[in-house]
Amino acid sequence: MRAFAGLGIARWPFGVTLVAALVGGRVREARRRAALNRALHELRRPLQALALAPAPSGKSPAPAAAELALAALDDLDHEINGAPRELASRPVACRALVEAAVERWRGPAAEARRSLELRWRAGAVMVMADPCRIAQALDNLLANAVEHGGLRVGVEAVTDARHVRISVSNTALPTPVHARRDPRRGHGLHVVASIAAAHGGRFLVRHPAGAWVAVLELPLAATPIPAAGDERSAGDLAA
């Protein structure tokens, strides 16, 4: 109120209106945050139950869909409340994560009449990573390629002495113009870039003639790298 002390009597109505607007805005924001937190609470409970339920054939080494949804809720919690968000990094078999992601998207690819092929040229490499976050990145890359690209989607992994590079390629450029205008869409590649950076890796997008290639590069864990030659083509992973 001191800020309005010099306004004079004639301008007090304006000052009171401004204060009321500020207070009203804070009340609305508090109610909105409370509503969002209630929604977070109600979404998190069933997802936690699903994530903790044992799979029929035992727990998979790769994150399940419910775990990925919980990770997304943690991101939303961070944006709403500033809750701490840390990577749960540990040595992870990279191949298991990539194969699981390909299998998750094999059905949607078939429904969209896309072929989905995996060629593994990286051996049994290990990465120091948060499995849920890497799975999120892979899902975003595959979703983008399947939903917006051409008829053939390829996934390939290669390695050198320090990194593994996971490439998702398509025969056409994804993300049509109409999708960019929808505020609910167009976030996937930003998510991938942030996850790569958080792991000390890189995310690159290349546009060779008539194609689109996204490359997720991750540093290897400090473990010996097995001999190369462990390859699997698309036919080996076909459902």
Chain segment 72-120, per-residue pLDDT in tens: 777 777 777 776 667 888 899 999 999 999 998 898 899 889 999 999 9
* CA–CA dist 168, 141 (Å, integer): 7
DSSP H helices in 53-181: 65-81, 94-111, 131-148, 177-180
For 232, the token pair is: 């699997």
pTM, entire model: 0.67
Chain segment 22-62, per-residue pLDDT in tens: 656 666 677 776 776 666 655 665 555 555 555 555 555 56
Model confidence at 220, pLDDT cuts 50, 70, 90, reads very high
228: left (phi over 0), alpha (psi -120 to 50) or beta: beta
Measured CA to CA in angstroms, residue 145 lies from 128, 131, 172, 192 at distances of 26, 21, 9, 13
**Is the pLDDT assigned to residue 10 strictly greater than 70?**
no
3-state helix, strand, coil in the chain (%, to 5): 50, 20, 30
**Is the pLDDT assigned to residue 164 strictly greater than 60?**
yes
**Is the pLDDT assigned to residue 144 strictly greater than 80?**
yes
Measured CA to CA in angstroms, residue 183 lies from 69, 77, 113, 179, 191 at distances of 20, 20, 27, 8, 15
3-class secondary structure, 106? helix
**Is the pLDDT assigned to residue 196 strictly greater than 70?**
yes
* Terminal-residue alpha carbon distance, the chain: 69
Mean pLDDT of 149-162: 91
Model confidence at 234, pLDDT cuts 50, 70, 90, reads very low
Mean pLDDT check: name the lowest of 6-10, 22-26, 101-105, 202-206.
6-10
pLDDT above 70 as % of the chain: 59
Model confidence at 235, pLDDT cuts 50, 70, 90, reads very low
Residue whose entry in the numeric block shows the structure tokens 């998207």: 105
Average pLDDT across the chain, whole number: 75
DSSP letters for 133-164: HHHHHHHHHHHHHHHHS-SEEEEEEEE-SSEE
CB 163 within 8 A of CB 201: yes
**Is the pLDDT assigned to residue 14 strictly greater than 70?**
no
Which class would CATH give 90-237? Answer: alpha beta
CA 20 vs. chain centroid, Å, equals 41
pLDDT attached to residue 79: 72
pLDDT attached to residue 71: 77
Any idea where the domains of the chain sit in the sequence?
11-81, 90-237
**Is the pLDDT assigned to residue 186 strictly greater than 90?**
no
